[in-house]
């Protein structure tokens, strides 16, 4: 019998996950279908109960339910618990287990550019939900340093204090980060700045950028933010948010099916959905 996979969110109509994941389910001959469900906050417990009763294979959770779902699950993986957000749920013999694949998704995408982090100084810009997943996962990998810059410094401090892994991270203002930018080998932009429709904005000055640095932006709409455009013009290597999106989905797929899917095909599919661009 065909198995059910799902994504719960609000809004959910824009999600690119169903096309991306149904395509690889079909390619790998897996008898399952991935469906989007619009779920209001007050309906989340009933939705989870219903999915469990239907014997769902697993599901993704997106904004605004990533934190609210935690007490509704049977178990939550340690990293997801410390991040305080779940984006992937697996039905393991009737038990719903929560994971967070956002941070590892980002890290896997980074592997195309960087093999080890132990000698790298990393700057994370932003201190919201995505930054939290990336920062904790980065800290677990023990880079030489991983600092956080945010508009609201108190939130960067909070993130550093909440991190379960040993770090000597510094919290910086956006201006300080711009001034000290030359120190960093990897710069990861995770704030909302530059996202459609405010595409002309950039979170920090890149005047002091070292052109040997890798500059990442987890935004993928637009594919090249103003921040990435400036970094590219200064000669740095750049990476947009497509890889993180594709790899977080691929890692979820692997948890549900035991198969690591064809990420190039997934990337191509996402690019097509974003405007007809071919890899």
Binding site residues, ligand NAP, CB under 6 A: 102, 126-131, 150-152, 155, 190-193, 195, 203, 218-220, 241, 244-245, 248
Quick one: 150 or 213, whose CB is closer to ligand NAP? 150
Q: Can you spell out the DSSP letters for 55-113?
A: T--EEEE-TT-TTTTGGGSSEE-HHHHHHT---EEEEETTEEEEE--HHHHHHHHHTTT
Taking CA atoms, 51 is separated from 26, 68, 92, 239, 261, in Å, by: 22, 16, 13, 36, 24
User: Which CB sits closer to ligand NAP, 167 or 239?
Assistant: 239
Sheet with strand 237-239: strands edge to edge:
171-172, 145-149, 121-125, 186-189, 214-217, 237-239
Q: Choose between 36 and 129: whose C-beta lies nearer to ligand NAP.
A: 129
Q: Is the Cβ of residue 173 or residue 237 nearer to ligand NAP in the bound state?
A: 173
User: Rounded to an integer, what is the distance from CA 139 to the centroid of its chain?
Assistant: 15
From residue 71, alpha-carbon distances to 9, 157, 241 in Å are 17, 26, 29
| CB of residue 218 to ligand NAP, shortest distance in Å | 4
Q: Where are the beta strands (DSSP E) in the chain?
A: 3-9, 32-38, 58-61, 75-76, 88-92, 95-99, 121-125, 145-149, 171-172, 186-189, 214-217, 237-239
Q: How far is the CB of 213 from ligand NAP (least distance, A)?
A: 19
Instruction: Specify the residue, 58 or 249, whose C-beta has the smaller distance to ligand NAP.
Output: 249
The two structure tokens encoding residue 139: 């800290």
> At its nearest, how many Å lie between ligand NAP and the CB of residue 244?
4
Give the pair of three-digit tokens for residue 33. Answer: 């279908």
Do strands 171-172 and 145-149 pair parallel, antiparallel, or not at all (unpaired)? parallel
- Cα 181 to its chain centre, rounded Å, is 23
For ligand NAP, the closer of residues 52 and 67 by Cβ is 67
Would you call 229 a catalytic residue per the annotation?
Answer: no
| Residue of minimal Cβ distance to ligand NAP | 128
C-alpha 259/C-alpha 68 separation (Å) is 29
Identify the active-site residue in 3, 66, 108, 140: 66
Give the residue numbers annotated as catalytic, written as ranges.
Answer: 66
């Amino acid at each position: 019998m065909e198995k059910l996979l799902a994504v719960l969110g609000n809004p959910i109509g824009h999600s690119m996950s169903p096309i991306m994941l149904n395509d690889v389910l079909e390619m790998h001959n897996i008898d399952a279908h991935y469906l989007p469900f619009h779920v209001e906050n007050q309906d989340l417990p009933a939705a989870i109960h219903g999915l469990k009763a239907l014997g769902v294979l697993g599901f993704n959770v997106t904004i605004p339910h990533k934190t609210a779902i935690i007490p509704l699950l049977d178990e939550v993986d340690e990293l997801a618990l410390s991040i305080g957000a779940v984006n992937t749920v697996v039905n393991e013999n009737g038990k719903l287990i929560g994971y967070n694949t956002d941070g590892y998704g980002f890290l896997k995408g980074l592997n195309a550019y960087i093999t080890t982090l132990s000698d790298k100084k990393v700057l994370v810009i932003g201190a919201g939900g995505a930054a939290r997943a990336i920062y904790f996962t980065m800290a677990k990998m023990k880079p030489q340093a991983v600092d956080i810059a945010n508009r609201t410094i108190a939130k960067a401090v909070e993130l550093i204090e909440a991190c379960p892994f040993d770090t000597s991270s510094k919290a910086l203002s956006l201006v300080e980060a711009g001034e000290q930018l030359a120190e960093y080998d990897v710069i990861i932009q995770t704030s909302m700045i530059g996202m459609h429709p405010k595409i002309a904005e950039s979170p920090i000055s890149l005047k002091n950028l070292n052109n040997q640095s890798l500059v990442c932006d987890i935004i993928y709409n637009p594919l090249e933010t103003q921040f990435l455009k400036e970094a590219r013009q200064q000669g740095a290597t750049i990476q947009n948010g497509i890889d993180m999106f594709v790899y977080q989905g691929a890692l979820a797929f692997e948890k549900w099916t035991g198969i690591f899917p064809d990420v190039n095909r997934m990337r191509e599919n996402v690019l097509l959905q974003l405007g007809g661009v071919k890899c």
